[in-house]
Each structure stands twice: as structure tokens, then as C-alpha cells.
Amino acid sequence: MDTSPFEDLIPEMEKSLKPYREGFLTFAQLPAAGIARDEILREMERLKSIEEARWKDGKVSGAVYHGDTAHIDFINRVYALHSQSNPLHADVWPSTTKFEAEIVAMTARMLRAPAGACGTVTSGGTESILLAMKTYRDWARETKNITAPEIIAPTTAHAAFDKAAQYFGIKMVRVPVGDDFRADLAATRAALTPNTIALIGSAPPFPHGIVDPVEELSELARARGIGFHTDGCLGGFLLPWAEKLGYPVPPFDFRLPGVTSISADTHKYGYAPKGTSVVLYRDAELRHFQYFISTDWPGGLYFSPTIAGSRPGALSAACWAALVTMGADGYLRAAKAILETATKIKQGIREISELQLIGDPLFVLAFGSETLDIFQVMERMTQKQWGLNGLHSPSAVHLCVTLRHTQPGVAERFIADLREAVVFVTGNPDAPSGVGPIYGMASAVELRGMVRDVLKLYMDVLYRV
């Protein structure tokens, strides 16, 4: 990779990504003598105090989904109790496997799974998606003799599906979304081939928060005798409660006979700490294709239900504790607060004539502009300490509403700041647009290679001391 055209970007990246190089403990090698624990704890507390204010005040899109101090303290106590546990050694820590089995069962019941449905706990949505796609690859190879597997996903489906395709030698076929930003059924049907092993729909997709037509897509998969995966990583722990509250939620779960697997992130709207998700299957036979088993290794029998071998059992314990301390009534109350706040913010966006809300999403609110550079608006919001997500194709920005945003005054502050940002950009059309140029480059096919190089540099900087 020739990085010379982008070298001038590195200082700005380092300024943003490496703010603790001066005035903080820094090590490029092991210290000659161990640092006192009290000193380490003081350093950790200092870092925490710098970083938590922004998300605690509700100025970040997604990222922290609960964030209440009492909830965090409770989860941390649970984690500490199980900090040494490892589900790889089920004989030593059977409590961890108890927690994981119950997490799977509770999630499956919430998503209307039939008798015989099953799953596993994973490290996050990406691993849940990777495992589901690996499962369909191996299932199709054994039962259909497909050796050049393909999956079909709308353009809005999560990039983790591309990662799965790259990792596991699967061809990814992306199909467009319609004017309503939902997966195009006709385009999906036209993309089917004898090598198609699974279709994908999202509930909802990350970019615009509008649930795909899972019922129609899953029926298409069922008619072809192939898998259908609902990516409920984002909405799996919110949409069931939204439906109970009377909000319009298209069916997306196991009540649809064509849905054969679902991913749902416990560490998002399940309010567990980061590092847990659930992948579910309609039956155990399908889940068996996820497992890894080695019977000829000199080290003994080795088997693992997920990608990792050793795993932090404390995360599973904390996940279980989050689910059972919330309970159905807690999830219902949380969903009500989030959706009411989202409704308030949607109305505020609609009242800003220069902005256009994309569709009518429930809690992931994407908006663009036909008259302004939306990335200039996002940059102005960044200056006001808001952390929003930039989107492209089309250019837009979104806010993923969480419990942090339901705090008194946060929604009103967001709309007021957004209104001021629009006024500022209208009067200053040459204002900086932050990441806008990079997103613009990514929208042009011929420039995507350059964007890839920029992103490689970005990741390189992450690991510089």
C-alpha cells in the first residue's frame, strides 16, 4: 500500500485517536518493576472520568444502550464474581453453561421460537452473523452438495455478512433496496441461483432503521428449500416490546416458518455489557453445522460451539443477570421510553425544512438534505459534542436512540442543536464537512480503493503507542 498520498492525514488521526500520549502512563515495553495497583487504579479512574461524560449525557448515537449508574454497578459486581470462569471448561464452571443455556432459552422464547429451537451465546453481532453463514455453508455442502456457495443480502445488510463471505469463501450477492429503503423482493428473486444457500433480511438494518420485508423474503427462501437469516442484532431486544406496545412492527421472527435463524444482540437493547450476542436456529440439526470438533489432535478431544475456545464466562454471567433483572416489564418500560423519545425527535427533524427524515423508522433515525451538505451539519453537531453516524449512498446521518436519550431534556437539546447546525451551515456553505469527503469518495466506485487505504492507515494508527 502506497500511503504517501495520505501521509498528511496521519497527524490529524493521531490527534483524535491518541489523546493520552502526554501526561498519562505510557508503555512501549514492560516496566522493569510492576506499577503499584493504587497508581494503576487512579490512572483508570482518570481515563474513565474523561470519557464517560459524553455518553452519560446522551450525546452519542447507540454505543451505550443503558448506562444507568445502578445498572452498571450491579453488572460490574456480577462480572467480578465470575471473573475467572471460562465456559471452555464446563466441568469446572457449570454455572456458566447454565447461564448461557438460559440466555438462549429466554431469547428464543422472546422471538417466538418453536419447540426444538436452539442456539449459542457469542461475542457479539458480528460473530453471530459469521457463525450463521458458516453454518449455512457447511449445511449446503453436506445436504445439497453445493461447493460454490452464495448468499443474497440487500445493500443495507450489515457489513459483517461481507466479512463472513470473505472469511468462509462464500460469494456475496448484494441486491438493491427499493424507494422505501427495504430489501427489493423482485431483485432478490432474480439473484437466486442453484448455488444460493441463504437469504438475509434485517430487523432493522443499521443505516436507516426500516425493517426489511422478512415475511416475503423468508417465504421465497422456504419455497427454494434454503436458509433465511433475520439479522435482529439491532432490533431483536426492542422490536418484540415495540409490537406489544402497539407500534407497527412487521413480522420478522420465528413465527414466520421460512425464518431458519436469527441473531440478536444482548449487549445492545438487552442491556448486557459489551461482548455478548445470541444466534438462534430453528432446530438442533442446523446448529450442529456451527460446531467445531477435532478428534485426532494429540492434545485430546477438542470441541467448541463458537469461534473462540476460551471465553470470558463473566460476560455470560453478567448477560444472564441483565436479562433477569430487567424482566419483561423492564424491557417493556424501556421500549416505551425509547420509542416515545424517538417520536419526539422525529417530529423535531420533520419541522426543520432543510432536512428530510428517511422513511418512518422506529428508533434509528436517519436524515439527509437536498439543499445542504449533510456532513457539514454532522461536523457542526460534532463540534457541539454529539456523536452521530455518517451514512452514504445516499449521504445521510443517523441517531440510534437509546435509554441515554430518554433522560430529561436530551431530545430537546438534540433538536435545538440540530436546528442551530442547519442555520450555521446555511450561512457558512464552505464550512468543513469532517468525514464528508471520505464518504463521498466511497460513493464513487473508482475511488473506493483509495478509501480502503485511508481506513488501513486509520487502523494502523489505532495500534501505535
From the list 394, 318, 385, the residue with the least C-alpha distance to 358 is: 394
Burial class of residue 199 (count of CB atoms within 10 Å of its CB; 0-12, 13-18, 19+): buried
Would the pLDDT of 8 be above 80?
no
Give residue 437's pLDDT band: very low, low, confident or very high (50, 70, 90): low
Residue 23 confidence (pLDDT): 94
Residue 382: its pLDDT value, please? 95
Residue 3 has pLDDT above 60, yes or no: no
Delineate the domains of the chain, giving CATH numbers in brackets: 80-322 (3.40.640.10)
Per-residue pLDDT, 131: 98
What is the spatial distance between Cα 154 and Cα 275, in angstroms, rounded to a whole number? 26
- pLDDT of 451 reads 84
As given in the structure block, the three cell numbers for residue 337 are 421510553
Give the angle 454-455-458 at the CA atoms, nearest 5°: 90
- Report residue 268's pLDDT band, with 50, 70 and 90 as the boundaries: very high
pLDDT value for 16: 85
pTM over 0.85: yes
Bridge-partner residues for 268, per DSSP?
A: none
In sequence order, the 6+-apart residues with CB closer than 8 A to the CB of 391 are: 207, 208, 366, 397, 398, 439
What ranges in 156-245 are assigned the alpha helix state H? 160-168, 185-191, 214-224, 239-244
- Digit-coded pLDDT (tens) for 199-247: 999 999 999 999 999 999 999 999 999 999 999 999 999 999 999 999 9
Closest CA to 349 of 371, 365, 370: 365
Q: What is the pLDDT of residues 21-33, one digit of tens each?
A: 999 999 999 999 9
pLDDT of residue 262: 98
**pLDDT by residue (tens digit) across 83-121?**
999 999 999 999 999 999 999 999 999 999 999 999 999
User: Which amino acid, one-letter code, is at 451?
Assistant: V
pLDDT score for 219: 98
**What is the model's pLDDT at position 407?**
97
- Phi/psi for 151 (5° steps) reads -125, 150
Which of 49-53, 73-77, 359-363, 437-441 is predicted with the least confidence, judged by mean pLDDT? 437-441
Sorting pLDDT into bands at 50, 70 and 90, what band is 389? very high
Per-residue pLDDT band for 393 (boundaries 50, 70, 90) equals confident
Query: Can you tell me whether residue 365 is helix, strand or coil?
Result: strand
| Three-state SS at 271 | coil
The runs of H, that is alpha helices, within 192-238 are: 214-224
> Of the given ranges (11-15, 17-21, 88-92, 278-282), which has the lowest mean pLDDT?
11-15
Which whole number is the average pLDDT over 241-256?
98
As a residue count, the chain comes to 465
Using DSSP's 3-state secondary structure scheme, residue 150 falls into strand
**pLDDT surpasses 80 at 446:** no
**Average pLDDT score, the chain:** 95
Quick one: pLDDT at residue 328? 98
Q: Is the pLDDT of residue 400 over 70?
A: yes
The residue with greater pLDDT, 430 or 105, is: 105
pLDDT-derived band at 1 (thresholds 50, 70, 90) equals low
* 364 strand-pairing partners: 400
State the DSSP string of 287-300: HHTT-EEESS-TT-
Backbone φ and ψ of 27, nearest 5°: -135, 125
| pLDDT at residue 387, rounded to an integer | 95
Q: Which of 1-15, 81-95, 230-244, 407-421 has the lowest mean pLDDT?
A: 1-15
Amino acid at 201: G
How do residues 165-193 score in pLDDT, each as one tens digit?
Answer: 999 999 999 999 999 999 999 999 999 99
Q: What is the pLDDT of residue 215?
A: 98
| Better-predicted residue by pLDDT, 3 or 423 | 423
Max avg pLDDT among 51-55, 156-160, 453-457, 460-464: 156-160
Q: Determine the Cα–Cα distance for residues 404 and 412; give it in Å rounded to an integer.
A: 13
